[in-house]
Amino acid sequence: MEQFEERLKNLLAIEKAYRELTQTSGGTLTGKEIIRRREIGDIVIEPWDLKNLNPNSYDIALDPHAKKYILGDNDVLDPRKVNPTEDIIIPEEGLILRPGDFLLAKTMEWTETRNLVPRIDGRSSTGRLSIFIHVSAGFGDINFNGNWTLEITCIKPVILYPGMKIGQISYVTPSGEIDPDFLYGSSRKLSKYQGSRDAEGSLFALDSDK
């Protein structure tokens, strides 16, 4: 009888461990798991406010400091060059963005991510205002740290306000071994935007295979 009870205890422990594993791997983290990963150091979000936590994401805010490309009527963006930008401030009364405008903005939050794949997307409420917070670059790399650059465009004229909750960050557990030699920010990986605190224009020109 004692052997049966011990075996049952072991089976229940294995089942519990398996359940915990399947709940925390191979998918998008829940809000509760974001808290846990933050506590153990896999996630850094500064400033942190529990009110911004969602069921499976965390709201991110628009910083007032932004940039836009300096383009004349006949100028074009050239991927093989570092295209010039100018700094702008989004005023408290708001900045009107019109279709065809393109703003390089940034998040108010500084983030660091270890052992997870971070991703930013627009919120449903901002999407319904025709706002895009990125053109195509929503995924981050494992080990990225910095303020996120936002590539803001719109379909309809809209006002952007500093500090508005413009998007959300979520985290996905990677599948497979994480190779430290190829982490973003490692000596073997060209990490052009690692540690960015400002909105960054494209550094495509620095790619070795451009």
Average pLDDT value for residue range 78-101: 96
Question: Known catalytic residue: 177?
Answer: no
Number of domains in the chain: 1
Task: Establish if 54 belongs to a structural domain.
Answer: yes
Task: Establish if 52 belongs to a structural domain.
Answer: yes
Q: What is the pLDDT of residues 107-118, one digit of tens each?
A: 999 999 999 999
Does residue 190 surpass a pLDDT of 80?
no
Task: Establish if 1 belongs to a structural domain.
Answer: no
Task: Establish if 18 belongs to a structural domain.
Answer: no
Q: d(Cα 108, Cα 59) in Å, to the nearest integer?
A: 11
Q: What is the pLDDT of residues 24-45, one digit of tens each?
A: 456 999 999 999 999 999 999 9
What does the pLDDT read at residue 4? 47
Task: Establish if 16 belongs to a structural domain.
Answer: no
Task: Establish if 79 belongs to a structural domain.
Answer: yes
Task: Establish if 127 belongs to a structural domain.
Answer: yes
Task: Establish if 49 belongs to a structural domain.
Answer: yes
CATH of the domain at 172: 2.70.40.10
What does the pLDDT read at residue 92? 98
Q: Are 62 and 123 in contact (CB under 8 A)?
A: no
For the record, the structure tokens of 82 come out as: 């570092």
What does the pLDDT read at residue 149? 96
Q: Which domain holds residue 124?
A: 30-206
| 33, 86, 112, 151: the active-site residue | 151
Q: What is the pLDDT of residues 128-177, one digit of tens each?
A: 999 999 998 788 899 999 999 999 999 999 999 999 999 999 999 998 88
pTM: 0.83
Cβ-count burial of 188 within 10 angstroms (0-12 exposed, 13-18 middle, 19+ buried)? Answer: exposed
Average pLDDT value for residue range 83-110: 97
